[in-house]
Amino acid sequence: MAKIFLDPQIKIDKRKEETELKLFDALKVRYQSEAVFDEIKINDLCQNASISRATFYRHHQNIGDVIVVQFLIEIAKFKQQIDDLEQLDFTNASTVIVDMIYANIELFKMMKWGNVQAEIQSLFSGTALQILILRDYSKQTRNFISDFLGTTILSFAQQIAQAPDSIAKTEGLRLYRLLIPNNL
């Protein structure tokens, strides 16, 4: 099967990658210490990440962008995993999606903490649209389906992340396959 080539293999500057990791790690420490997101100051975050405010503002408008960028990094990994599949079908794709969700449970919790769900839903819908462009749907139908999938997958991930009793990944995969349409 021909590859989809969702991941354009953009080269990311090594310094920017290191900066993003430092910022995300510093923000994750604040999350794990149960800090109130809206009370985090950019100066403090930059100091904890050992970067300057100028560097922060070169890449971000606000602290929520740090979480959004981390999702972009994970989505790039997801796209590469989809491209690496020998056959793209519901079974294979659902496994990759559920693996991605479980590998990033804390990131989904941080998304809610940072109140960036709308931005992340848009990223998920955009990724679904990239996949659907290769299918024979009208533009209106593709847009509807991609918004539906982006919203639904994000909602599913949030439910898994917020479950009071951790749901095993095998059960999460079974639930995903039961709840998400497989005939798109």
Quick one: pLDDT at residue 182? 78
Specify whether 82 is located in the same domain as 140.
Answer: yes
CA distances, 13 to each of 10, 16, 17, 47, 51 (Å): 10, 5, 6, 22, 16
CA distances, 88 to each of 9, 96, 129 (Å): 20, 10, 15
Specify whether 50 is located in the same domain as 128.
Answer: no
Specify whether 155 is located in the same domain as 83.
Answer: yes
Specify whether 74 is located in the same domain as 53.
Answer: no
Specify whether 87 is located in the same domain as 136.
Answer: yes
Specify whether 74 is located in the same domain as 42.
Answer: no
Specify whether 134 is located in the same domain as 93.
Answer: yes
Domain boundary among 60, 78, 94: 60
Quick one: pLDDT at residue 177? 94
SS3 of 167, please?
coil
**Domain CATH code at residue 122:** 1.10.357.10
Residue where the block lists tokens 């769900």: 117
Residue 7 pLDDT exceeds 70: no
Residue 5 pLDDT exceeds 70: no
Least Cα distance to 145 among 162, 165, 124 occurs for 124
82-119 pLDDT, tens digit per residue, is: 888 888 888 998 999 999 999 999 999 999 999 999 99
Specify whether 35 is located in the same domain as 121.
Answer: no
Specify whether 17 is located in the same domain as 77.
Answer: no
Q: How confident is the model at residue 13 (pLDDT cuts 50, 70, 90)?
A: confident
Task: Judge whether 6 lies within some domain.
Answer: no
Specify whether 87 is located in the same domain as 157.
Answer: yes
Quick one: pLDDT at residue 135? 73
Task: Judge whether 2 lies within some domain.
Answer: no
CA dist 129 and 72 (Å) reads 15
SS3 of 62, please?
coil
Task: Judge whether 1 lies within some domain.
Answer: no
Q: How confident is the model at residue 12 (pLDDT cuts 50, 70, 90)?
A: low
Domain count, the chain: 2
Quick one: pLDDT at residue 138? 84
Task: Judge whether 36 lies within some domain.
Answer: yes
* Range of the structural domain that residue 106 is part of: 66-184
Quick one: pLDDT at residue 3? 37
Q: How confident is the model at residue 4 (pLDDT cuts 50, 70, 90)?
A: very low
Quick one: pLDDT at residue 2? 33
Specify whether 56 is located in the same domain as 98.
Answer: no
Greatest distance between any 2 Cα atoms in the chain: 50
**Domain CATH code at residue 45:** 1.10.10
Task: Judge whether 78 lies within some domain.
Answer: yes
Task: Judge whether 83 lies within some domain.
Answer: yes
Residue 6 pLDDT exceeds 80: no
115-173 pLDDT, tens digit per residue, is: 999 999 999 999 888 877 777 788 888 899 899 999 999 999 999 999 988 899 999 99
CA distances, 139 to each of 108, 145, 147, 148 (Å): 30, 10, 12, 14
Task: Judge whether 168 lies within some domain.
Answer: yes
CA quadruple 58, 49, 37, 54: dihedral, nearest 10: -20
19-60 pLDDT, tens digit per residue, is: 999 999 999 999 999 999 999 999 999 999 999 999 999 989
Quick one: pLDDT at residue 11? 53
H-state helical runs in the chain: 14-32, 42-49, 53-59, 64-84, 90-103, 105-113, 117-132, 139-162, 169-179
Task: Judge whether 7 lies within some domain.
Answer: no
Specify whether 170 is located in the same domain as 86.
Answer: yes
